[in-house]
Amino acid sequence: MMQKTFDFFIPYNRFMNEQGKLEQALPEWSRDQERLIEAYETMVLIRNFDQKVVALQRTGKMGTYPSILGQEAIGVAVGQTMRKDDVLIPYYRDLPAQYLRGVRLVETLLYWGGDERGSQYQHCPEDFPNCVPISTQMCHAAGVATAFKIRGEKRAAVVTCGDGATSKGDFLESLNVAGVWQLPMVIVVNNNQWAISTPRKVQSAGQTIAQKAIGAGIEGIQVDGNDYFAISDAVQHALEKAHAGKGATLIEAISYRLGDHTTADDATRYRSKEDLKAGWEKEPIQRLRHYLLSQNLWSESQEKELQNKSTKIIETAVSDYLNTPPEPPESMFDHLFADMPAPLIEQRIDVKSLAGPGGTQQGSH
């Protein structure tokens, strides 16, 4: 009853299994040992830092915070692979990528600690800040990629989001324009199986999320996002393509959210112990560690040193954060417009006088 068919497919890839054993030969680039070491070290640092932020929240020194526990490989792959002059348009669970791009840990702390200066990024002036309204950043990425295209620059816009985000219109509208305009755009979905309490299967009836690329006429790839090699390889492929003017790629990186959604969430309400346990068996750090150890690229003494170094870095960042006084209250007006309109000048005076001389001290963590 049909006359012809249009055929499509979505590849799945991984190199390394849950035990850090190779399932296929590694790609060429993986000979770069420094890169592998950096990846491992970053994942460990970020995991330690992440757990520190959660602890700060528990003791009232931090706002609501979304832990990235168990999803470190994805961000590390993104951060390592991007060129400096590419632009990262992150969501809110992209700490490793941001760190590798130059966002300082103290900035991360300030942001989640309720201080706008946390998005003022000293070292990556063009990267976007964390994006809270789900999927809205996808459209920004399309715009950034369009800007590159208009100016004929060989740069890429790299945008990330979660599995839940792929249900929202913005995501799909952006994929679509990325196809039509052949935009230099890399879309990395951290499919951590949950959107707060909503499991992946409630988001979409598709076997994969990557297949959403088909409707947009762009390439879609699914990889094991806990396999550092698989996700790095996919991002590298997508970036090369983008830099070469060959259009956009959607990468679905399968991971697992080992923590609560945020510190305001309690995942035991909706998630079984077994599910969580299965998640832990797939986490990315042990895997890479096993691999590095097996290749004699890593040792217990290095591990110890790394832990020490991490602790120091984290302690410095935390104390910088805790020692940063809040902005004066009247700063709420100072960056709204390039030129402050008259009515705001009046309101600013109000706030300043209400806060009084001690006003700038009132804010707290």
Partner 1 sequence: MNIAAKSDTADASVVSHKITMVEAVNLALARAMQEDENVVVLGEDVGVNGGVFRATVNLREEFGLKRVMDTPLAETLIAGMAIGMAAQGIRPVAEIQFMGFIYATMEQIVSHASRMRNRTRGRLSCPMVLRAPFGGGIHAPEHHSESTETLFAHIPGLRVVIPSSPRRAYGLLLAAIRNDDPVVFLEPKRIYRASSQDVTDDGQALPLDTCFTLREGTDITLVSWGAMIQETLQAADQLLEQDISAEVIDVASISPLDMATIRTSVAKTGRCCIVHEAARTHGVGAEIAAELSESSLFDLKAPVSRVTGYDTVMPYYRNEMHYMPTVERICEAATILMEEGL
Site membership for partner 1, residue 323 (CB under 8 A)? no
AA letter at 31: R
Dist. CA 172–CA 24, nearest whole Å: 33
Three-state secondary structure call for residue 89: strand
Site string for partner 1, 118-157 (x = CB under 8 A): -xxx---xx-xx--xxxxx-xxxxxxxxxxxxx------x
Q: Which of 82, 163, 171, 161 shows the shortest CA–CA distance to 127?
A: 82
Q: Please state whether beta strands 185-191 and 194-195 pair in parallel, antiparallel, or not at all (unpaired).
A: unpaired
Output 202 or 278, the one with its CB closest to a second copy: 202
Site membership for a second copy, residue 218 (CB under 8 A)? yes
Three-state secondary structure call for residue 257: coil
Site membership for a second copy, residue 47 (CB under 8 A)? no
Among 30, 48, 136, 211, binds a second copy (CB under 8 A): 211
Residues within window 161-200 making contact with a second copy, judged by CB under 8 A: 167-170, 172-173, 176-177, 179-180, 182
Per annotation, catalytic residue among 47, 155, 261, 348 = 261
Output 205 or 342, the one with its CB closest to a second copy: 205
Among 132, 202, 278, 345, binds a second copy (CB under 8 A): 202
Query: What residue 93 binds from partner 1, ligand TPP, Mg ion, none (CB within 5 to 8 A, per partner kind)?
Result: ligand TPP
Per annotation, catalytic residue among 93, 155, 237, 257 = 257
- Residue 110 near residue 117 (C-beta atoms within 8 A): yes
Candidate ranges 13-21, 30-38, 175-183, 241-249; the one touching partner 1 (CB under 8 A): 175-183
Dist. CA 76–CA 121, nearest whole Å: 18
Dist. CA 339–CA 334, nearest whole Å: 9
Query: What residue 192 binds from Mg ion, a second copy, partner 1, none (CB within 5 to 8 A, per partner kind)?
Result: Mg ion
Three-state secondary structure call for residue 160: strand
Residues within window 22-41 making contact with a second copy, judged by CB under 8 A: 23-24, 27
Dist. CA 189–CA 214, nearest whole Å: 15
Among 80, 81, 208, 226, binds a second copy (CB under 8 A): 208
Q: Residue 224 corresponds to which tokens in the numbers above?
A: 């094991």
257 has catalytic annotation = yes
Q: Which of 86, 322, 323 shows the shortest CA–CA distance to 185?
A: 86
Nearest approach, Cβ of residue 96 and partner 1 (Å)? 20
Among 112, 228, 256, 298, binds partner 1 (CB under 8 A): 112
Per annotation, catalytic residue among 104, 140, 243, 270 = 270
Dist. CA 3–CA 298, nearest whole Å: 58
Residues within window 232-251 making contact with a second copy, judged by CB under 8 A: 233
Dist. CA 362–CA 359, nearest whole Å: 5
Instruction: Give the Cα-Cα-Cα angle 201, 247, 160 (nearest 5 degrees).
Output: 40
Dist. CA 141–CA 249, nearest whole Å: 13
Dist. CA 260–CA 363, nearest whole Å: 28
Nearest approach, Cβ of residue 176 and ligand TPP (Å)? 13
Site string for partner 1, 339-358 (x = CB under 8 A): x-xxxx--x--xx--xx---
Dist. CA 263–CA 57, nearest whole Å: 7
270 has catalytic annotation = yes
269 has catalytic annotation = no
User: Which positions are annotated as active-site residues?
Assistant: 257, 261, 270
Residues contributing to the site for a second copy (CB under 8 A) = 1-14, 23-24, 27, 167-170, 172-173, 176-177, 179-180, 182, 201-208, 211-218, 222, 233
